[in-house]
């Protein structure tokens, strides 16, 4: 079986993150069902518990973070942990509504500009921001 990740990376101490657009919130069982073959493979290959705990799944295009347990099950990583002010990188849960709107404004204008420059027949629809909504 050829897999998209090499479990030897996990064994070598590398953190591996699988990013999916699937947005099941923190319903880990749905992600586990989607990744059944991969998770079973890691268990079957007797990947160490320490190595499995270096495997993460980011769901909903990076809105939900889960970590694999040493038993091969996914568990939620609390937002306070993975979006901690002490860690580098963006922290969307801490963004003010004005900052979210600014990012969306730039994204929308970029898409509109591409549509115009490429003379595409397209309708740009802006999704309402839900930055403060908690699932």
Identify the DSSP state of 57: E
Of 94 and 109, the one with more pLDDT: 109
Q: What is the pLDDT of residue 131?
A: 47
Q: What is the mean pLDDT of residues 54-79?
A: 91
pLDDT digits (tens, 9 = 90+) for 33-50: 999 998 998 898 889 999
In this structure, what token pair is assigned to residue 77? Answer: 């990583």
Q: Give pTM, 2 decimals.
A: 0.67
Residue 31 has pLDDT above 80, yes or no: yes
Q: Is 66 exposed, middle or buried (0-12, 13-18, 19+ CB in 10 A)?
A: buried
Q: Are 68 and 42 in contact (CB under 8 A)?
A: yes
Q: What is the mean pLDDT of residues 96-119?
A: 89
Return d(Cα 67, Cα 53) in angstroms, integer. Answer: 6
pLDDT digits (tens, 9 = 90+) for 88-97: 777 777 778 8
Q: What is the pLDDT of residue 130?
A: 52
Residue 126 has pLDDT above 90, yes or no: no
Chain-centroid distance, C-alpha 103: 19
């Amino acid at each position: 079986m050829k897999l998209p990740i090499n479990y030897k990376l996990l064994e070598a101490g590398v953190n591996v993150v699988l990013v999916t657009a699937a947005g099941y919130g923190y319903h880990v069982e749905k992600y586990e069902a989607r990744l059944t073959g991969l998770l079973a493979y890691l268990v079957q290959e007797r990947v160490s518990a320490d190595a499995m705990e270096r495997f993460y799944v980011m769901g909903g295009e990076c809105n939900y973070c889960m970590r694999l347990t040493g038993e091969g099950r996914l568990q939620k990583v609390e937002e306070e942990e993975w979006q901690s002010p002490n860690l580098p990188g963006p922290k969307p849960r801490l963004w003010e509504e004005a900052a979210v709107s600014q990012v969306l404004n730039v994204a929308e204008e970029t898409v509109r500009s591409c549509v115009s420059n490429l003379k595409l027949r397209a309708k740009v629809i802006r999704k309402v921001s839900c930055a403060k909504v908690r699932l």
